[in-house]
Amino acid sequence: MKLAFLIYSYFPYGGQQRDFMRIVRECLQRGHEIHVFAFRWEGEIPTGVNLHIVPIKGWSRLARYRNYTDVVGRQLADMGVDCVIGFNKMPHLDIYFAADSCFLEKAETQRGAYYRFTPRFRHFSRYEEAVFGERSQSLSLLLSELQQQAYLKHYPHCAERLELLPPGISADRRVECRDPEIRSELRRELSIGEEELLVLQVGSGFRIKGVDRSLRAVAALPGKLRRRVRYVLVGQDRARRFLWQAKGLGINEQVMILPGRDDITRFFAAADILLHPAYQESAGYVLLEAAIAGLPVLTTASCGYASYIEQETLGHVCPEPFRQSELDTALEDMLQQLPQAPWSANGLAFGKQDRLYRMPQQVADIIEGWVVQHSAGGSPS
């Protein structure tokens, strides 16, 4: 099969990008011809992938997105691919992998009434309509029930074109137990003592991940407990704003911000708790990756995978609407309960379920089934 994958930007450390790469590799292993269209690419190009860097123009980001869509649309028409799989909402898609939250839901709950009159709203609502609207035929693969509820609220006619996927945790995140040697080794590298409490946060896009909330929660800890805490943030984004915030809160000596890296499992082993109070998160793979490594999780109900944290007793979930005081209290309580709490053992047991690691295979099955189903009707796109 000749498959086209569309993604605006690829870099190795984003959740959307990691899903994209795992699915592309699975399709490659099955012998399919893979064409990828992106306007920015960082990192290795897998052997067998035909990468097309799209030459885009435009002063604004919206203009560049529209230009990308126009250029790719023309190229796809000439190539005659069997299926077009997109990782960003846009026209031309046969299958959309829903790494993003529902745009209309975010516009309704996070923006003022004026927002609906902006060029940004018009662009993204139109592109979302191209995927989920009543006239669309695109199949959408969702990561969480939270997404499903939001899309059905705004696009009730798309119900038959939604398919809920299992979690897509990479198999290399699976561990049997927490390794004390790895814990000690990484703590030495970071100059963190064994008696100190390592609060870890992982994720690119610091604002939407709630780093400001995390810093306030650390600063709000009682003095004796706060002095034992080291906060480490790993991810891709501009750090200056948050370093200034930490300084203003008086905790800058306890805060460390590191760029994205490949050895995140070592951080899971070294940390005492994962803090992830995101404003909005379609899924939040890091919640489950940390949990199955035996790391207790403190997160917010706005994350799609927060339901697993609650159902499996893997930590604590702050309800919506979010209140900073609740996060502050929860962080203090969890840090004090660590020695006797069941969260770590529950996470390691949860990680033994094979279904947690099969998402790329299921997506590849869906793509193949879609092509077979539509092959009799001519060109799918």
The rounded percent of the chain whose pLDDT value lies above 90 is 91
The chain-wide mean pLDDT, for the chain, equals 95
Do strands 297-300 and 95-98 pair parallel, antiparallel, or not at all (unpaired)?
A: unpaired
Q: Does residue 170 carry a pLDDT above 90?
A: no
Q: Does residue 378 carry a pLDDT above 60?
A: no
What pLDDT, in 10s, does the model give residues 90-124? 999 999 999 899 999 999 998 999 999 999 999 99
Q: Does residue 380 carry a pLDDT above 50?
A: no
For residue 7, give the nearest of 84, 73, 86, 67 by alpha carbon. Answer: 86
Are 272 and 335 spatial neighbours (Cβ–Cβ below 8 Å)? yes
Query: Confidence class of residue 379 from pLDDT cuts 50, 70 and 90?
Result: very low
Query: Confidence class of residue 58 from pLDDT cuts 50, 70 and 90?
Result: confident
Could you give all domains of the chain from N- to C-terminal order, each with its CATH number?
2-166+358-377 (3.40.50.2000), 171-353 (3.40.50.2000)
Element (H, E) at 249: helix 240-249
List CB contacts of 86: < 8 A, sequence separation 6 or more: 5, 6, 7, 92, 93, 95, 96, 97, 131
Amino acid making up residue 57: K
What is the Cα–Cα distance from 363 to 356, expressed in whole angstroms? Answer: 13
For residue 277, give the nearest of 377, 194, 370, 199 by alpha carbon. Answer: 199
- DSSP bridge partners of 84: 4
Phi, psi dihedral angles at 163 (to 5 degrees): -135, 125
What pLDDT, in 10s, does the model give residues 117-156? 999 999 999 999 999 999 999 999 999 999 999 999 999 9
Are 301 and 320 spatial neighbours (Cβ–Cβ below 8 Å)? yes
What pLDDT, in 10s, does the model give residues 204-239? 899 999 999 999 999 999 999 999 999 999 998 999
DSSP summary character for residue 324: H
Query: Confidence class of residue 343 from pLDDT cuts 50, 70 and 90?
Result: very high
- Name the more confident of 15 and 164: 164
What is the Cα–Cα distance from 34 to 29, expressed in whole angstroms? Answer: 11
Q: What would the two tokens of residue 378 be?
A: 């001519």
What is the Cα–Cα distance from 250 to 178, expressed in whole angstroms? Answer: 32
Query: Confidence class of residue 14 from pLDDT cuts 50, 70 and 90?
Result: confident
What is the Cα–Cα distance from 111 to 323, expressed in whole angstroms? Answer: 18
Torsion of CA 245, 250, 251, 256, to 10 degrees: 50
